[in-house]
Chains A and B, each alone.
Chain A
Amino acid sequence: MSPAITPVAGRPGSRILSVGSYLPSRVVGNDEISALIDSSDQWIRERSGISERRRASADETVASMATEAATKAIARAGIDPSEISMVLVATVTHPFQTPAAATEVAFRVGAVNAAASDLGAACAGFCYAIGVADSLIRAGTSKYVLVIGAEKFSDFVSWSDRGTAFIFGDGAGAVLLGPSDIPRVGPVIWGADGGQIDVITMSQSWTDYRDNPGEHYPHLTMQGQTVFRWAISEVSKVTQRAIDAAGITSADLAAFVPHQANMRITDALVRTLKLPEHVVIARDIKTSGNTSAASIPLALDHLLEAGEVTSGGLALLVGFGAGLAFAAQVVEIP
């Protein structure tokens, strides 16, 4: 008989200790985009609620933007980065198959004792990573986990695609999670529907492109109407399940911070969930665009900076996108 493996003591819960975010300085307005897709500022605003988004420069990478956001979050938490035991970067736009962006980020922020890995769940990535981080901390595997959502979608969008060109922006948001004597991150409700992988996907694989190079290297494509329908019918159910799993009601929420996919989706989710008037709704998409895995921590940081939410309130987070992957949880605002 093999000797027994020593069990690890778990913890009752985790909490988000701090938030930090980073946006590139270059602002791209609707007029610049609409010239390329035969559209107009009004058309873009009506369909998405977006008036501008940021675009990274050539030397602003997924890893560099992630590092900027993470550095702020670490400083705000007042934790020595050497105490961080895991760095998770949620991204689908790091342009290297390997190594993971997280390894570079961990090095650059001084998380010298951390494991580091990327997590690819597209626009659901941040909430997926929060779910993983909470589990790692509760299981006793990690004490402090750095979770970052960082995307540079400007590298993977076709500027002539009317369905996507105006939607996406670049940026990064980070949170540091640590142990808590009671759960301050609620149970994650998550899943994926691979039966619908064609709904949001790349125009072709890199290997297909290598063998048959087309006019444009692989870029994001999206069936907007199908995504919209899925979001308002299925994602609303996921968010309600996250509220129920946390053992609260929507009246207990201080804020709703959905992935900033499209203002019309946010509006429809708010209607479907019948959120009370006092719940602050994140509408960061107006000025940041859809930054995929970065959108939730960016929106949360901006709400805190604007004083629209305060520490200690409960926020409902939900990410959803390609895959069709989704994840939602209730968290206490740091």
Chain B
Amino acid sequence: MSQQILEGLAAIVNEVAGTPVADITPDKAFIDDLDIDSLSMVEVVMACEDKFGVSIPDGEVKNLKTVGDAVAFIEKASLTA
């Protein structure tokens, strides 16, 4: 798993929800563990698109339950981009 993507994502989650960066680990679920609700998740997704230059369609967002899911998706999407 890309440490660089994880760090970038953690910075975004921290900015959107104020969650301490140290708490943002791959096993954490956005909604249950990180105080991210469905609308904050949209902001996280849009910030990720900007930061990593990938496209995360609305239909894909519901599959990104944990930080690890999101890092894996972004990693894969950047390889094919």
Contact = CB atoms under 8 A, between A and B. Distances in A.
Interface of A: 46-47, 223-226, 228-229, 232-233, 262, 264, 268
B39 A228 contact: yes
A264 B41 CA distance: 12
Contacts of A47: 37-39
Contact of B39 (A223, A224, A233): A224
Q: Which range holds the interface residue count of chain B?
A: 10 to 19
B41 A225 contact: yes
Grouping DSSP codes into helix (H, G, I), strand (E, B) and loop, the B interface class, with mixed when no group exceeds half, is helix
B47 to A, nearest CB: 11
B58 A229 contact: yes
Contact of A226 (B37, B41, B43, B58): B58
Contacts of B43: 232, 268
Contacts of A225: 38-39, 41-42, 58, 61
Interface in B16-53: 37-39, 41-43, 45-46
B46 A233 contact: yes
25 contacts: A46-B37, A47-B37, A47-B38, A47-B39, A223-B58, A224-B38, A224-B39, A225-B39, A225-B41, A225-B42, A225-B61, A226-B58, A228-B39, A228-B42, A229-B42, A229-B45, A229-B46, A229-B58, A232-B42, A232-B43, A232-B46, A233-B46, A262-B39, A264-B39, A268-B43
A116 B39 CA distance: 40
Contacts of B39: 47, 224-225, 228, 262, 264
Contacts of B58: 223, 225-226, 229
A224 B38 CA distance: 9
9 nearest A-B pairs in the assembled complex, by CB-CB distance: A228-B42, A229-B42, A264-B39, A226-B58, A225-B42, A228-B39, A225-B38, A225-B58, A229-B46
A198 to B, nearest CB: 12
Nearest to A163: B38
B14 to A, nearest CB: 16
Contacts of B42: 225, 228-229, 232
